[in-house]
Structure 1
Amino acid sequence: MLNFSTPEEKALIKNSAGVFAQAHELTHDGVAGNSPIWSWPDAGDSGRQRPGVLLLHGWGGEAGLMAAFVAPLLDLGYRVLIPDLPGQGKTKGRLVDTRVSAATIVELHNRVGPFHSIIGHSLGGLLGCMVAAGHEVFGGKVDAAKLVTINSPVSLGSVISGLGGAMGLAPGVIDDVAAKTEQDLGLPLTEAHAQVMLERANVPTLAFHDTDDPFIPHAGSLAQLARHEKLQTRQTSGLGHISVLEDQTVIRQVTDFLGQAE
């Protein structure tokens, strides 16, 4: 949806092959059918001794986009897990449903968690905020200690408005899409806003956004939220929507924020 197949995206996925060759692949049979999840190291008893970090790519992306974070997180003593949520990557089906995606994350947390932290790119970052805040329509919550968002939108409503405007849709049509999204989500869109969700989650959060992101406008990004004591923001430039995921400065700032696994 927002992560179109750019040359940068294709190169990042291609370069991730070696990282994924070392992964242990599981299949999660959940609320929306089978979803693959990759784990470093093995998600068995030895792997579970490490605190887990869940990496969430954006809609329309693939797990390989998050590969550059794997080795640095392993070096800090974490276990790393990357799923392809329903309708994304290798998961069957074309429909991406926010509520189903959030419910699947909660299921994964209960099955292969717990997750110490969540790192999410694009709409994956907003999903991370949703599950950290939790709601009964998702089947619970993820008790993450820290959140990281990278080039993430501030709300589902801003995504709908932005896409609708870019497509030249009439205001009434955009309103209809918003109403249908709200119905499918089972929540008012006002609650699917990072400000509300982060206040509910109440955990340290680090938000990145690149000023040259062509898909998520900087003005409508999560990194532009009103400041509160547990939110830190970082601005990058010239990296765009995808290349930020392999930028060594960004990765170092993320690992510094998470710290050594305990």
Structure 2
Amino acid sequence: MAYAFHINSTNDRAKKSLAPPWFRNGFRLVGAMVPDAAASMGHHLFFTPRGARLRDDERAVLAQGERFSFDVDGSNVIARTWGEGPTVILAHGWGGHSGQMTSLVQAVVAAGYRAVAIDFPGHGESEGRLSSIVHFARALERGAALFSPIHGVIAHSLGAAATTFAMTRTLRPTRVAFFAPATEFEPMWAQFREDVGVSDVVWQKMQKKAEGWLNVSMRQVFALEHAPRMTAPLLVLHDVADRQVGFEQGEKMAQTWPNAALVRTEQLGHIRILHDPRAIAAAVDFLER
């Protein structure tokens, strides 16, 4: 099932390269001469999030919430809660922060739910330098344990992939809504390799290092691998003009996940969709069904 919203808005800016040419050339040279050292450098670069700026309106909503913290693998994770009732967790994406999800808070609370927004490890106010889908999932599971029962999760981008992974473990929401879900990582990995100058040999070493560090295989965090076995109803909201996570990724998620619906928006891009009143209303209405 698909719907279309037609809203005039400027698309997200085109993605910028992670590294200048001199860095790529230098990284290739290190990779050819000392591949283990290049793999270590690449690992830290790949798993280090670049933080997004907190806007004034986001800061104002965060200030109205009750701030609390909890421990995830020895790191202090910061979160906030608003309202009362069954819990709806708000999960931001890679390089984001809980403030990006604050446009949803009023609607979630008005619908009779407790909104809980988490700064994932290495993001926002939470501790940590390196992060990953696995770190996101552990924080989701820990937050859910504090505020059970969990009625729903509204997640954005990589937060959707982390939510899916957490649902294969202990997270048990009744319903979920994903904004611009990142479901296929090969395009992202290919872009990273091109931007940084990662050779096949170095990439293989990076993968091995990451799998040992996280104690999971790469395919274990692929959302589409788990989607066919999901039982909670899903709503996917994705914009056809999304330059960061292509619309086809959300479309495939909706096609693969049983009992899923797709909302197709236009001219909102990757971030603005989180602030669109009609997209927000659709997500919250879906949670209430």
State TM-score, norm by structure 2.
0.75
1:75 to partner: Cα distance = 0.8
1:127 to partner: Cα distance = 0.7
Amino acid at match of 1:72: A
1:4 to partner: Cα distance = 6.1
Identify the match of residue 222 of structure 1 among 250, 253, 257.
250
Identify the match of residue 104 of structure 2 among 57, 60, 69.
69
Rounded Cα–Cα distance in structure 2 between residues aligned with 1:55 and 1:255 = 12
Identify the match of residue 164 of structure 2 among 120, 124, 129.
129
1:202 aligns with 2:237: no
1:219-252 per-residue CA deviation (whole Å, 9 max, x = no partner) reads: 4x23323445312122222111111110111111
1:18 aligns with 2:53: no
Amino acid at match of 1:257: F
1:180 to partner: Cα distance = 3.0
Greater RCO (CA < 8 Å, at least 6 residues apart): 2
User: Which is further off, 54-63 or 196-205?
Assistant: 196-205
1:150 to partner: Cα distance = 1.2
- Equivalent residues of 1:223, 1:234 under 8 A apart: no
User: Which is further off, 171-180 or 196-205?
Assistant: 171-180
Count matched residues.
242
Correspondence for 2:73? 31
Question: What's the % identity of the aligned pairs?
Answer: 24
Distance 1:3 1:107, change over 3 A: closer
Correspondence for 2:242? 213
Q: Counterpart of 2:244 in 1: which secondary structure?
A: coil
State TM-score, norm by structure 1.
0.82
Q: Counterpart of 1:110 in 2: which secondary structure?
A: helix
Correspondence for 2:127? 92
**Which of the two has higher C-alpha Rg?**
2
1:218 to partner: Cα distance = 2.9
Q: Counterpart of 1:67 in 2: which secondary structure?
A: helix
The gaps in structure 2 that reach 5 residues or longer are 1-46
The gaps in structure 1 that reach 5 residues or longer are 42-46, 135-140
Rounded Cα–Cα distance in structure 1 between residues aligned with 2:235 and 2:80 = 24
Question: Where does 1:179-198 land on structure 2 (aligned, <5 Å)?
Answer: 179-198=208-227
Rounded Cα–Cα distance in structure 2 between residues aligned with 1:57 and 1:228 = 21
Rounded Cα–Cα distance in structure 2 between residues aligned with 1:233 and 1:109 = 26
1:100 to partner: Cα distance = 2.7
Rounded Cα–Cα distance in structure 2 between residues aligned with 1:89 and 1:259 = 29
1:116 to partner: Cα distance = 1.1
